[in-house]
Amino acid sequence: MKTDRFFILFISLLFIAGLAEGFAQDDAAALRRRDVRREERLRQQQPAPPRIDSVLLSGALNEVKEDGRIALTLEGGGARGLYHIGVIKALEENDIPIDYISGTSMGAIIGALYASGYSADEMAAIATSGDVEQWVTGRIDDRYKFFYNQRENTPSMFSVYANIQSDTLSSRQSLNLALPHAFINTAQIDMALIELFSSASAAANDDFDRLMIPFRAVAADVNRHEAVVYREGDLPFAVRASMSYPILFRPVTDDKGRVLVDGGVYNNFPWQPLEEDFKPDLIIGSQCLDGKEPITENSSVEKQVMALVTLPSEYRLPEGRGVVIQRKITSSLLDFSGGEATIEQGYNDAMAAMPYLKERIKARRSAEEVERRRREFRSRQPEMNFSQMEIDSLNERQEDYALTFMNFEQKRKDEGSEISFDQMRERYFLLMATNEFNSNTFPRVKYDSVRDDFAIRLNLSTKPGVRFSVGGNISSTAFNQAFLGMTYFRLGRNAVTYTTDLFVGPVSTVLRVGGRTVFAGRTPTYLDYSVQGSWQSNLRGSFGNVTPARNTISARTIETYARLAFGIATTRKSVLELSGNAGYNFFSYIDSYDEPDNPSTHDAYRFVAGRVQFQHSTLDKLEYPTHGGRFTASVIGIHGRDRYENTELHAQKRWERHRRSWVGAKVKWEHYPSNWKDWWFSVGYTLEAVYTNHPRFGNPYATILTTPRFAPTPHSRMLYMPEFYADRYAAAGVMPTFRLLPNFYLRGGVYAMLRDPLQKDDYLHYMSDLSFLYHTPIGPVSLSLTKYNFDTKNNLYVMFNFGYPIFGNRGLFY
């Protein structure tokens, strides 16, 4: 019995000993597994990154100590990148320090602004001022355009440039189309970047580590297919390189010969330069796009193109040291109209994440300390005054023309001469608004610390020598018209332009060949010369009448004349011109309503005419303007010989010939108050007065067709209505306009014409017009209801137009 118990005890001890030995062999592994489980439990006890709405904070953060360094990286995204301003504002309000910053494209712009000393509120003010929307249109403001340089009565919708190239082997010349380098002219963007960043770059001596906070911008080298990180150099250039979105904006070339485009092509979330250069304790990312969103058959053209030319960016930040505030902003690339809401969204998202961030980040920087640093850095920024300008890539004569035009006759007139940035920008825009030059690359600005001023270097080329233009008018009436134009331009010490314009349509056909020579100087002058032939008829076709048409003359006019004019640009928007015409008018007419049995007659008038005219114009559009004004005052003198023939005279094989001469004067004022242009309602008005001693011709129709005419609407210029022709008259009109949507208007017009009561009993006539208008980038679309006189239901017309219903100028002036 005892033996059995002893045996069982012995076996049990052996079993326990074996277990102990096994445990001893696995002890190290067991301890490691235990430590792993303990660390996992500790991590689970830490606060998890919250998921609030669509705010994503990726990765559990290590605690950032009080002396920890924090970096901020900003994603590119066009207008959507305004989201970053709200994120920065929230971080500053909660005393979260930003020690380093980087960005791509719009992220580079926002990052550079912050590094240059701009506060979040200042950045928001710039973004929502409307200036950015103007910059990205690519259109230079009309106030920089000389009125004398604008071609009247040219309904161009599209233009294509071409270069004349010579083959040295065959000695032949060929015409090659010059496709645009980009869709958007960056002249305004370039000047804005220079204004925003050049002083900061000078204060930092072009070292981005010496800005208010260190900054990195990322661009893309299109030839080497790699990202380029800017740590030093010209700050506005670095930002411009980083935001050069392919196709939209022209690439830039740096001093090393690298052709650079938007950094988002290779790295749209550039946290790596911050990690490599500064090793921060924490990287905060602000992301406004869904970088992993796949392309589908329904994706926009923009997304499809960018998917073809870009590489995926790395959005994963270092584990435990990275956090991303993220939301997919759905606005389009260049839609800055919703900027205020986008900034607010970034602010709200960052504020929603703030409790978690403040718990993990112990480092703080007060608003007072940030403002002190900002004031200190700004105090080192020099005032932007310019004393030197250099132009590359033009020949000597072209450079002389450009500098003269900009009032920079010499690089430096004397030791103390300087102009402000506003003056420099104005003169640059004046030059670019001539449409005679291209900017080959970003203007380079250099600070001279000895003189304490700046120099600017422009790299310019002349526009291609040949331009083809296409346009016209599509109408529900007979006034359909096609326009073809060709322009040859040559720039030397003077600017010479030769043009050929052809308007073809069933109501009006015009052929005009001519040219202009502009003599550059502080007061530009020009010499115009041209030959024009025109044909206008309302004998056939529909003119849109919905009630019977009465009191209209069925006539055909043929006019040819040569023109010579000399003009002086008295101001930017004013011209004083002396002109002379010599030509021939032929009239053929029949009035089927008033005199149905009257045979067809015709009249020929050979003439010479002279005019002195002063014009001042700030109108914003060629047709249907919405703001601005135009004042015209002129005197004319006309002398010629009239030859008249009808059926009776033709049977006798003879003509009636008489000399006809007259003088006259005209004043016209059309005004649309500019301070109403942003309202939903505005009122324009027009005043017009004409006085002539126009003589009687051989028949009343020739008399009417050579007298001045009141024609304030497109439809009225298409008809011959005798009651709106007069030797002497005064007229007025009121044009109320309602803005229904952007670029979409309801425009009315009521006009009254007072003829000379000593000559006519029926001396007061009216005209009214009601139009729906939509202004497209290539021309207006209009649906108009026009009524002549109110004492009868006759003469009510409806007309649809897409384009510019334009007629040639009259050789008799008016």
Give strand pairing partners of 709.
Answer: 725
| Sign, CA torsion 288/291/292/297 | positive
Q: Of the ranges 212-216, 260-264, 504-508, 511-515, which one carries the lowest mean pLDDT score?
A: 504-508
Q: What is the pLDDT of residue 128?
A: 94
Coil, helix or strand for 365? coil
Non-local (6+) Cβ contacts of 388 within 8 A are 411, 412, 453, 454, 455, 456
Q: How far apart are CA 279 and CA 70, in angstroms?
A: 9
**Higher-confidence residue: 2 or 690?**
690
Does the pLDDT at position 242 exceed 90?
Answer: yes
CA distance 510 to 90: 64
Region 234-243: mean pLDDT is 98
Quote the pLDDT of residue 59.
56
Burial grade of 596 (CB within 10 A; 0-12, 13-18, 19 or more):
exposed
* Spatial distance between the Cα atoms of 210 and 218, rounded to a whole number of angstroms: 18
- Higher per-residue confidence, 502 vs 12: 502
Q: How far, rounded to the nearest angstrom, does the alpha carbon of residue 190 sit from its chain's CA centroid?
A: 13
CATH 3.40.1090.10 positions along the chain are 52-139+185-290+302-379
Return the minimum-mean-pLDDT range out of 302-311, 378-387, 471-480.
302-311
Count of alpha carbons within 13 angstroms of residue 599, beta-carbon side? 9
Confidence of residue 306 (pLDDT cuts 50, 70, 90): low
Give the pLDDT confidence score for residue 648 in this predicted structure: 65
Distances in Å between the Cα of 728 and the Cα atoms of 155, 642, 766, 814 are 31, 21, 16, 11
Could you give the percent of the chain with pLDDT greater than 70? 85
Q: Tens digits of per-residue pLDDT, 132-156?
A: 998 998 888 888 888 988 877 788 8
Rounded mean pLDDT, 283-296: 81
The two tokens of residue 72 are 């901020």
Query: In the structure, what pLDDT confidence band is assigned to residue 54 with cuts at 50, 70 and 90?
Result: very low
Residue 112 or residue 59, greater confidence: 112
Residue 749: enclosing H or E segment and its boundaries?
Answer: strand 744-755
CA-nearest of 69, 64, 92 to 346 is: 92
Span of 138-152, 553-567, 743-757 with lowest mean pLDDT: 138-152
Locate 53 and state its tokens: 């709405």
User: Of 552-561, 636-645, 709-718, 791-800, where does mean pLDDT reach its minimum?
Assistant: 552-561
How do residues 348-387 score in pLDDT, each as one tens digit?
999 999 998 999 999 999 999 999 999 999 999 999 999 8
Which CATH code for domain 466-803?
2.40.160.50
For the residues 711-722, what does the mean pLDDT come to? 89
Cα–Cα distance, 785 to 548 (Å, whole number): 15
Residue 124 predicted with pLDDT over 60: yes
Can you tell me the distance from the alpha carbon of 187 to that of 439, in angstroms, rounded to the nearest whole number?
8
According to DSSP, the residues that pair with 541 across neighbouring strands are none
According to CATH, the topology of domain 385-462 is Ubiquitin-like (UB roll) (3.10.20)
Band (pLDDT 50/70/90 cuts) for residue 169 is low
pLDDT at 60: 67
Q: Does the structure show a pLDDT above 90 at 687?
A: yes
Q: Using alpha carbons, select from 616, 608, 658, 657 the residue that is nearest to residue 637.
A: 608
In the predicted structure, residue 595 carries a pLDDT above the cut 50:
no
Q: Give percent above pLDDT 90 in the chain.
A: 59
In order of 119, 140, 488, the CA distances from 658 in angstroms are 79, 53, 42
Ranges of CATH 3.10.20.310 domains, the chain: 385-462
- Given pLDDT bands bounded at 50, 70 and 90, which one contains residue 650? low
H or E element at residue 561: strand 554-571
Burial of 669 (0-12, 13-18, 19+ CB in 10 A): middle
Query: DSSP letters of 258-318?
Result: -EEEEGGGT-SS--HHHHHHH--SEEEEEE-S-TTPPP-TTS-HHHHHHHHH-PPP--PPP
CATH superfamily name and code, 52-139+185-290+302-379: Cytosolic phospholipase A2 catalytic domain (3.40.1090.10)
Mean predicted confidence (pLDDT) in 396-404: 87
pLDDT single digits (tens) 84-101: 999 999 999 999 999 999
Band of residue 11 on the pLDDT scale cut at 50, 70, 90 = very low
Residues in Cβ contact with 628 at an 8 Å cutoff, skipping those fewer than 6 apart: 142, 617, 618, 619, 620, 671, 672, 674
Residues of the chain with CATH 2.40.160.50: 466-803
CA distances from 401 to 226, 464, 523, 577, 632 (A): 40, 17, 13, 22, 30
Question: What is the reported pLDDT for 176?
Answer: 82
Q: Which two tokens stand for residue 465?
A: 């020598």
Query: Which residues, 6 or more positions from 688, have their beta carbon under 8 angstroms from its beta carbon?
Result: 666, 667, 668, 669, 710, 712, 729, 730, 731, 732
Mean pLDDT score of the chain, rounded to an integer? 86
Stronger pLDDT, 310 or 98, i.e. the higher one: 98
Max avg pLDDT among 68-77, 128-137, 677-686, 718-727:
68-77
Q: State residue 592's pLDDT score.
A: 42
